[in-house]
Amino acid sequence: MIYLTGANGLVGSRFLNLYKDQVTTISYRDEVPDVFGSHENSCLIHLAWSSTTRNTYDEFEKVIKNDVTNSKILFDYYVNKNPNGKIIFISSAGDLHLGHGRTVWEEHEPSPHSLYGECKLHVENILKELSCKTVVLRTSNIWGAKVSGNRVNGLVDKLLSSLDTDRVIEIFADL
């Protein structure tokens, strides 16, 4: 079973289009529903996010509740019923590493420069405390309106098109 938040966004809608028969979507604005069943094999892909890099610290309480607190509630519901499950979270490479120049290495400590980045990092830290397996993908430039279905030049496109294959996707070129 695959659970998916953010199914109406750019990545979520493309993923859902490919795997609609295998996915249960989760949608919420204020209160996070406990919609999880117990499964031997399951995964929660958390793409939903309400804040942007344009949010100001005047919106701190709203952004913390919508993105950080609700993510924690979602994870707790999921892990409670699926302790052997996996959680995949899409974070942000760009906003967490501003100021390091063009190349960012895994050893670089994140240094967010916005409320958006701070919230993404906070959720990453919540995931570190969970008892289930977690994956954090720090991507950049996942935004925008709908794109054509035949676009194949971005990381998301490459990952989605390689699902159910043995193809290796190079994420970082060792130049």
Instruction: Report pLDDT digits (tens) over 36-58.
Output: 999 999 999 999 988 777 778 88
Q: Mean of the per-residue pLDDT values for the chain?
A: 82
CB-CB neighbours of 35 under 10 Å: 15
pLDDT at 175: 40
Model pLDDT, residue 31: 82
Nearest to 90 by CA among 161, 138, 160: 138
Which residue is listed with tokens 């993908």? Answer: 137
Residue 143 clears pLDDT 80, i.e. is over it: no
What is the predicted pLDDT for the residue at 26? 94
Domain positions in the chain are 2-142
**Looking at the domain that runs over 2-142, which CATH code has it been given?**
3.40.50.720
pLDDT tens per residue across span 60-77: 888 888 899 999 999 999
CA-only gyration radius of the chain, Å: 16
Prediction pTM value: 0.79
- Dihedral (CA of 33, 144, 98, 92) sign: positive
Which sign, positive or negative, has the C-alpha torsion 70, 67, 88, 165? positive
pLDDT for the residue 124: 95
